[in-house]
Structure 1
Amino acid sequence: MRVLVAGRSGAVGRQLVPSLVSAGHEVTGTARTTAGVERIRNLGATGVQVDALDPEELRRTVVAARPETVIHQLIDLSAADGAANGRIRREGTRNLVDAAKAAGVGRIVVQSISWAYGPGETPADERDPLDTTTAGPRARMVAAVRALEETAAELDTAVVLRYGLLYGPGTWYAPDGALATALTGDRSAAFLGSTVANDAVSSFVHVADAAAAALLALDWPPGPVNIVDDDPAPAHTWLPALAHSLGVPAPERAAGRQGWERGALNTLSRSRGWRPVRPTWRTGFADQIEH
């Protein structure tokens, strides 16, 4: 299959491109820099330099690649800038979907998130609505996620992968990531996450498992699907465990959580054949240190 991966340079994209190539797909990957293009070529794929925020340039790139499927891995969190990432979700997705239409592409696999659901007492599944209860930065984030998912759904088949918090190489939760720096009290690293060990429940997924889900999603039916591990857990449980694995101080336990801080379930993705190699962060955190 001819596949175009938009945003190969993100944490998931770096794992996904070699998996697609190994599976026998003809892969074109996009990057914003010449260095990114070279990395794509070194993985056996065709690399193209393009800015997803340039609609005409992106249209030409997608039409020339003639993909049968587009995989959306566009993200902009290098500076922990929520506004920049929101723009990529809104404008980048709009441009990519328009380019896919121009190229006659009917299938798209899209990177979304699993913590945009509304409040609840138990982990969310795909039947739960996105959050409409908050204001401020979270409301803007959820609005951008909604725009991303609705825009993708304009194509005939849009599979929306709602990832958990990504850990592993290239993420904030890696040994060289921003969370380890933040836990030492050094705020020089850009980090949008929390370092409060409270009752807020999160769901994680290793980047390699996230990439494996994107590969399987080439054959999945449309709609949202949570890509999270088997073990949603409160911050007062997972944060000290991660700190211990990273060799940095653990924060003191605190109380409280927001209603939307509930984690998510992977029942649907498992029913479609996805089996995370790291089914729980409890072993996954330690595994990323060993490797």
Structure 2
Amino acid sequence: MRVFVAGATGAIGRVLVGQLVAEGHQVVGTSRREEGVAGLKAAGAEGVVVDAFDAEAVARAVAAAAPDAVIHQLTSLSGGTSADNGRIRRAGTRNLVDAAAQAGVKRIVAQSIAWAYEPGDTPADENVPLDIGAGEPRITTVNGIVALEEAVREIDHHVVLRYGQLYGPGTWYERGGVADAVLHGDSTDPAAKFLGGLPPNDAVSSFIHVTDAARAAINALEWPSGTVNIVDDDPALAREWVPVLATSLGAPTPEATTGRAPWERGATNTLARSLGWNPQYPTWRTGFGIN
């Protein structure tokens, strides 16, 4: 299959391109910079520099690639804010979907998130509504997700992957990365300020290693249209996972606290499992520290 990967040099994109190439797919990936294109070529893919906010450039790139499928992994996580991510989810997705439609592409897989569900006391499945009644600043994230998912559904065959909190290479939680700075109290790091620390409280999170996130995107090329949570088997309280992460990073464990936001509920992966997806890292308990 010929696959166009938008956001091919991000945390998931880099792993995804390698997996696609290894399975014999022809891959065209986008990057914001020439060095990213060089990396894609070294990985056995074609590469093209594209600004996701330039509709004409996106349309030209997709048309030239003539793909059988588009995989949307565009984000603005590296040094970005929730507003930046909201913008790329709205405008970047709009441009990519329009380009795919113009090029006659009938299949798209897109990255969404599994922590935009409305408040609840148990992990959310895909039938739980998104949290469209949230206030600021959360509503900025939710509105971006709503816009992304609505646009993607315009393509005939569409799969929206609601990923859990990503960990592994290129993520906030990798060794020597942002989590290390946060847990050591480096308040001068802008990413550490963005995270606001990692309080070990009653908030529930669902995680996913980037390797398993990438595998789900490939599997989804053959899944029926719909929305699927891509999370591990082990939704966890922050007071459980923060100490494990601290240990994996060789950092002191922060003092435990109580309380959570009503929407911090985690998510389930029952549907993904039923579709044949089997994560290499079914729990963060063994996955943390593996990069």
TM range (shorter): over 0.9
1:226 aligns with 2:229: yes
Q: Quote how far apart the aligned CAs of 1:250 are.
A: 1.4
Partner of 1:265: 268
Partner of 1:244: 247
> Which stretches in structure 1 are left out of the alignment for 5+ residues?
none
1:37 is paired with a residue of what secondary structure? helix
1:280 aligns with 2:272: no
**Residue correspondence of structure 1 range 135-284 to structure 2 within 5 A:** 135-189=135-189, 190-191=191-192, 192-193=194-195, 194-284=197-287
2:52 is paired with a residue of what secondary structure? coil
1:136 is paired with a residue of what secondary structure? coil
In structure 2, C-alpha distance between the alignment counterparts of 1:118 and 1:241, rounded to whole Å: 28
In structure 1, C-alpha distance between the alignment counterparts of 2:288 and 2:140, rounded to whole Å: 30
Partner of 1:85: 85
Aligned residue identity for 1:46: E
1:19 is paired with a residue of what secondary structure? helix
2:47 is paired with a residue of what secondary structure? strand
1:287 is paired with a residue of what secondary structure? coil
Aligned residue identity for 2:270: T
Q: Quote how far apart the aligned CAs of 1:286 are.
A: 3.5
4+ runs deviating over 3 angstroms: 191-194
Aligned residue identity for 1:206: H
In structure 2, C-alpha distance between the alignment counterparts of 1:176 and 1:67, rounded to whole Å: 37
Aligned residue identity for 1:222: S
**CA RMSD between the two structures:** 0.9
The question of whether the paired residues in 1 share the 8 Å contact of 2:7 and 2:73 is answered with yes
In structure 2, C-alpha distance between the alignment counterparts of 1:91 and 1:284, rounded to whole Å: 34
Partner of 1:68: 68
Identity %: 59
In structure 1, C-alpha distance between the alignment counterparts of 2:139 and 2:91, rounded to whole Å: 17
In structure 2, C-alpha distance between the alignment counterparts of 1:148 and 1:21, rounded to whole Å: 27
Aligned residue identity for 2:265: R
Q: Quote how far apart the aligned CAs of 1:122 are.
A: 0.4
In structure 2, C-alpha distance between the alignment counterparts of 1:176 and 1:163, rounded to whole Å: 23
In structure 2, C-alpha distance between the alignment counterparts of 1:37 and 1:188, rounded to whole Å: 32
> Which stretches in structure 2 are left out of the alignment for 5+ residues?
none
In structure 2, C-alpha distance between the alignment counterparts of 1:30 and 1:157, rounded to whole Å: 22
In structure 1, C-alpha distance between the alignment counterparts of 2:252 and 2:230, rounded to whole Å: 29
In structure 2, C-alpha distance between the alignment counterparts of 1:96 and 1:149, rounded to whole Å: 12
In structure 2, C-alpha distance between the alignment counterparts of 1:209 and 1:253, rounded to whole Å: 30
Q: Quote how far apart the aligned CAs of 1:199 are.
A: 0.2
Partner of 2:13: 13
- State the TM-score, normalized to the length of structure 2: 0.97
Aligned residue identity for 1:107: R
Q: Deviations over 1:75-112 (max 9, x none)?
A: 11111311111110000000000000110011110000
Q: Quote how far apart the aligned CAs of 1:129 are.
A: 0.5
Partner of 1:39: 39
In structure 2, C-alpha distance between the alignment counterparts of 1:248 and 1:188, rounded to whole Å: 17
In structure 2, C-alpha distance between the alignment counterparts of 1:188 and 1:168, rounded to whole Å: 23
Aligned residue identity for 1:55: A
In structure 1, C-alpha distance between the alignment counterparts of 2:275 and 2:105, rounded to whole Å: 23
Q: Quote how far apart the aligned CAs of 1:240 are.
A: 0.8
In structure 1, C-alpha distance between the alignment counterparts of 2:134 and 2:109, rounded to whole Å: 28
Q: Quote how far apart the aligned CAs of 1:118 are.
A: 0.4
Q: Quote how far apart the aligned CAs of 1:223 are.
A: 1.1
